[in-house]
Each structure stands twice: as structure tokens, then as C-alpha cells.
């Protein structure tokens, strides 16, 4: 029984010296993060496919039980809209190979304009993917949430290849007006769609966006604590990523989410002991 939790990144300035040691060389930052969480979103791969040596460094900083959910590059999903991107896809798959089993799923985030009429392109793309990886799809077109027929068609496409549907839960963010610059920015950029909490596979993935207030974020995830516990009882292995508009407390909140689920299921495997923000005296001499 394992619950993976994580954040949208493994390095963030507000965490330095507060949750994680500071300074840390780039080649040690993921290692430090991995003592706090056992999963991370690979958002940077959306903007550029990293060098293979960079991916090898990621593998070297994490244990085999750590999990990455890596976003497919933008040219594949947004520019070519899943058509005619064989070369980019091949290059990406070869680059992430060093992660081995750490690649929990390859994440196909689709633009808001990708709607029910485009499901044929998605079905063809998914059928052509190698079976060596798991895949998870995030859609943002409102029809998939408001139209049961469109939702059913998408579920059938995904189920046909064993892919998961990633919901991005922004309900808490939009339940009342923003109160900070970060929340106002999120209001202009994040999708406003209904909450969806159905799993298609044994490895559901949730992206939850709260508020800059810790209390409001925790209150908003009560639903997911119960859902995650239920999935674990069913034998599923969920992954939950915790976001806030400024992400200042996201690292701590991801662990807190795990703790709340574990309070319902004491047999759940605990997270590792987190690295202290205070570096060892021997480490201080290195900088």
C-alpha cells in the first residue's frame, strides 16, 4: 500500500533555508526534496526536452521508489496537437529512459481548445505509444466536464489503452475571490472546471490547487483525503500533487496530506524522514 505525494517542482526559493538546506548545489536539490516527498511533477519537460545527462542526474538523486510524472513537450501536445510529432516523441522517450521505473506516467496535458471533436487524434496517438510506459491525460475543454456523452467518449478512449484521466481540481481556488497577487494570477491562468474524482486505472493521479492560506488549502482537500484512502483500500496506488498559488507551503502541505491519509490508514507506508533545513556542520565548509 503506497501513496505518492509531491509538488509541481523540487526547487523553489521560499523553501530554501525553511524546509530545505540553503545553499545546495543544483545536483543535490532533488535529493533533498526526495526526503520530503516521494513524487514530483515534471513540468519543465513541457518547455524543453532536457539533456540525457540531466535525466541521469535525476535518477542518481532519487531511489527506485521515487516517482516522476513527466509532461510531454509542448511541440507534441500544443503545437502539433498529437499529429506528426514522431521525431519529438522518439527523442523525448529516449531522453527519459535513465529514469526507468521512476517514470510513474507520461503526462499528456492538452490545451483548452482540444475538445470532443479531437478525440480521434488522441485515440490514434495513444494507440501508437509504446507499451513500456503508462500514460495519463489531462483535458481542459469544458465539454468533457459538462457533457456526459463527451466524458464517456473520452473515458472509452483512455480505457482502451489503460491510460488515466488526470483531474486538475481548482474548485477551492475559485470558491471565493482572490486575496493575494499569486491568487489573482492563478485566477487568470488556471482552468475553472468541476471536480472529477473517478479513477480509470489502479494508479490514479490528482492535481489539487488550494489557496495561499494553509487553512483554506487543507479544508479544500478533505474530499481528496477520503477519496485517496478509499482508493488505497481498493488496492489502487494514487499519486496526489498539492499546489497553492504561490507554492510557498506546498512542500510541507504535501507531507501533511500524506499524514492525514495515514491517520485513516495506519498501515500506509510512511514517508522518509525529511532533511533538515539546517545543513550539517561538515556541509557548511563546502560553500
Spatial separation of the C-alpha atoms in residues 274 and 144, rounded to whole Å:
39
Spatial separation of the C-alpha atoms in residues 222 and 149, rounded to whole Å:
29
Name the one residue in this structure whose C-alpha cell is 543535490.
28
Locate the DSSP E strands across 203-246.
Answer: 205-209, 239-243
Contacts of 132 (CB under 8 A, 6+ apart): none
CA 208 to chain CA mean position, Å: 9
Spatial separation of the C-alpha atoms in residues 199 and 227, rounded to whole Å:
10
Spatial separation of the C-alpha atoms in residues 27 and 31, rounded to whole Å:
8
Q: What is the pLDDT of residue 281?
A: 44
Cβ atoms of 158 and 137 within 8 Å: the answer is: yes
Residue 243: helix, strand or coil by DSSP? strand
Q: What is the pLDDT of residue 91?
A: 96
Q: What is the pLDDT of residue 276?
A: 87
Name the one residue in this structure whose C-alpha cell is 477551492.
172
Cβ atoms of 16 and 22 within 8 Å: the answer is: yes
Cβ atoms of 95 and 49 within 8 Å: the answer is: yes
Q: What is the pLDDT of residue 284?
A: 43
Cβ atoms of 211 and 250 within 8 Å: the answer is: no
Give me the average pLDDT of each 10-residue run along the chain (287 residues): 95 95 93 98 95 97 97 97 95 97 97 98 97 97 97 98 98 97 98 96 98 98 98 98 98 98 96 83 42
Amino acid at each position: 500500500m503506497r501513496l505518492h505525494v509531491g509538488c509541481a517542482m523540487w526547487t523553489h526559493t521560499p523553501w530554501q533555508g525553511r524546509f530545505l538546506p540553503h545553499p545546495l548545489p543544483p545536483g543535490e536539490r532533488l535529493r533533498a526534496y526526495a526526503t520530503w516527498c516521494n513524487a514530483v511533477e515534471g513540468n519543465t519537460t513541457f518547455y524543453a526536452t532536457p539533456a540525457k545527462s540531466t535525466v541521469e542526474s535525476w535518477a542518481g538523486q532519487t531511489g527506485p521508489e521515487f516517482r516522476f510524472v513527466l509532461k510531454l513537450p509542448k511541440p507534441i501536445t500544443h503545437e502539433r496537437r498529437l499529429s506528426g510529432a514522431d521525431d519529438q516523441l522518439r527523442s523525448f522517450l529516449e531522453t527519459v529512459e535513465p529514469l526507468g521505473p521512476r517514470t510513474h506516467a507520461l503526462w499528456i496535458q492538452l490545451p483548452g481548445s482540444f475538445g470532443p471533436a479531437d478525440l480521434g487524434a488522441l485515440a490514434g496517438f495513444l494507440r501508437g505509444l509504446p507499451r513500456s510506459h503508462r500514460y495519463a491525460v489531462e483535458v481542459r475543454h469544458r465539454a468533457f466536464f459538462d457533457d456526459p456523452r463527451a466524458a464517456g467518449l473520452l473515458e472509452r478512449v483512455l480505457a482502451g489503452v489503460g491510460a488515466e484521466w488526470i483531474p486538475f481540481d481548482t474548485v477551492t481556488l475559485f470558491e471565493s475571490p482572490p486575496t493575494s497577487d499569486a491568487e489573482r494570477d492563478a485566477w487568470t491562468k488556471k482552468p475553472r472546471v468541476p471536480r472529477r474524482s473517478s479513477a480509470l486505472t489502479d494508479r490514479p493521479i490528482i492535481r489539487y490547487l488550494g489557496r495561499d492560506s494553509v487553512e483554506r488549502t487543507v479544508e479544500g482537500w478533505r474530499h481528496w483525503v477520503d477519496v485517496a484512502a478509499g482508493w488505497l483500500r481498493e488496492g489502487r496506488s494514487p499519486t496526489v500533487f498539492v499546489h497553492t498559488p504561490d507554492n510557498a507551503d506546498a512542500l510541507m502541505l504535501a507531507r501533511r496530506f500524506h499524514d492525514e491519509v495515514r491517520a485513516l490508514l495506519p498501515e500506509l507506508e510512511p514517508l522518509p524522514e525529511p532533511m533538515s533545513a539546517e545543513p550539517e556542520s561538515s556541509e557548511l565548509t563546502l560553500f
